Amino acid sequence: MKKVVVGMSGGVDSSVAAILLKEQGFNVIGLFMRNWDSNINNDIQGNPTLMNDICPQEEDYNDAKIVCDKLGIPLYRVDFIKEYWDYVFTYFLDELKNGRTPNPDIMCNKYIKFDLFIKEAKKIGASFIATGHYARLVNGKLLKALDDNKDQTYFLSQIKKEQLHDVLFPIGDLCKNEVRDIAKKYNLITATKKDSTGICFIGERNYRKFLQNYLLTQVGNIINIETSEVIGTHNGLVNYTIGQRKGLDIGGYKDKLFVVGKDLKKNILYIAIGENNIYLYSNAALIDNVNWISDNRPIKCTAKFRYRQQEENVQIEYLDSGLIKVLYPQKIKAVTPGQACVFYLNEECLGGGIIKDVILDNNKIWYL
């Protein structure tokens, strides 16, 4: 009987992944990753500071333990707190300092879930590794999940092809409601558990208050990019991202206001008025840290520039510098430095990179 180690998160998806593998005759073992110290963090001077609110991580472990006990499978626990800090959280902070909008979940998959986790699983004799991601692997190709609304290949775009060897995605052929139905059939505690949203280490905490523990922020001017008029003040550039509408507490405008740029040296936040404002759009982007999962290197394909965004038709130019220039003459709204650009060809996720610069009509534009 082949041994498979399942990454148990305490959620319904990994719970059902374990069920399906057990039904298929695998010797299933659960492994819970503790990536964040839920009680003590360090402030910007490096001093320990107690967080009064409770991180759901311990509750997730308890739920995972209850599920594993019910299914009759062992559950191990491993700490990757230091590694997560070094490879994911430090990256997150550095990107914010540089005015960009990072996606730490992508780096967590790259460095923790599909690197350190796999090595730990191999130590306990795993023939296969499985997770509750909504994705599929067919003939070595990473394919989108059948449930397009839950597909998570965007978050897997920085994984190396070799990291997917011996990996299983048991729920990739299921829709979310089918996953919950299976959990209900087994009367699991996770069957109706709410999906986790947002950045994992922040959880339900207030984003701005959380960042105050790690980053110095300075009040600065908000300027209308079209008129150069100072129309308000911001409370730190790290708290804003391109295309953001909420959190701009400025009265007197009938139309919606949107963030369109930052000047880090002058500590200025630029806004534009109206959701179709030209300052929100670009027609090309430079992509660095490009990672190919597929052997296919197309000139034309589709791409997603944010997770909750539809795929867009793009053209790709391969530059001598190793960067990729992605062209989208139809113009796309709020393409944001620091976010991932992920490439698709029909159902296959080809890989992706990180948005470095945003361009309109061959000119680098005003985002940073």
Catalytic residue among 55, 200, 301, 341: 200
Task: Show the tokens assigned to 145.
Answer: 């999940």
Which one of the listed residues 108, 301, 341, 349 is annotated catalytic?
108
Type and span of the H or E element at 270:
strand 268-273
Q: Is the dihedral of CA 81, 86, 88, 92 positive or negative?
A: positive
| Burial classification of residue 66, based on how many CB atoms lie within 10 Å of its CB (0-12 exposed, 13-18 middle, 19 or more buried) | middle
Cβ atoms within 10 A of the Cβ of 82, count? Answer: 10
- Chain-centre distance of CA 106, in angstroms? 5
Active site residue 341: no
Planar angle of CA 345, 161, 28, nearest 5 degrees: 110
Active site residue 200: yes
Angle formed at CA 11 by CA 73 and CA 176, multiple of 5 degrees: 110
Rg (CA), the chain: 22
Dihedrals phi, psi of 30, to nearest 5 degrees: -95, 145
Q: Residue type for 283, please?
A: N
Residues 6+ apart with CB under 8 A from 38: 51, 54, 55, 57, 58
Which residues are catalytic, by number?
108, 200
